Amino acid sequence: MKVQLQDQSVRLRLDEAELARLLAGESVENMTRFGGAEGWGLAVSLHGGEQPVLLDGGTFCRLVLPRDAVLSLSARLPCRDGLSFELALEEGGLLQLQFDVDVRDSVRQRGPARRSEPAV
């Protein structure tokens, strides 16, 4: 899983194997260590709700995404358009979340888009 952070924006990009694990009910995790035992981590999992949930543990966060939205994205792969969410934070701010599946990996795994589908 690739994680990009900028201001109040998070972009997650999974490959096909990570997406398969996520859809199978597993969590996908990323941990970055900055020296020593401490680091910063992010885990992604799915739930049956309609909105994403952010569970913040300080140095380890968990994003829980709506299963139906991720299934819908999976059904239209390969594609460049992922899922966009806006999460309200407790202190009143917003966090923009972009969830994508790596297009190049999807093309390698699934083949190019069929003619009835938009081009990648």
Q: What is the pLDDT of residues 46-79, one digit of tens each?
A: 999 999 999 987 789 999 999 999 999 999 988 8
**The pLDDT value given to residue 109:** 74
Q: Distance between CA 11 and CA 27 in Å, rounded?
A: 17
Of 115 and 112, the structure prediction assigns the larger pLDDT to 112
Q: What is the mean pLDDT of the chain?
A: 88
| Sequence-distant contacts of 82-85: CB under 8 A, at least 24 apart | 82/13, 85/51, 85/52
Q: Distance between CA 102 and CA 100 in Å, rounded?
A: 6
pTM: 0.84
The DSSP bridge partners found for residue 54 are: 63
The pLDDT tens digits for 22-43 are: 999 999 999 998 887 788 999 9
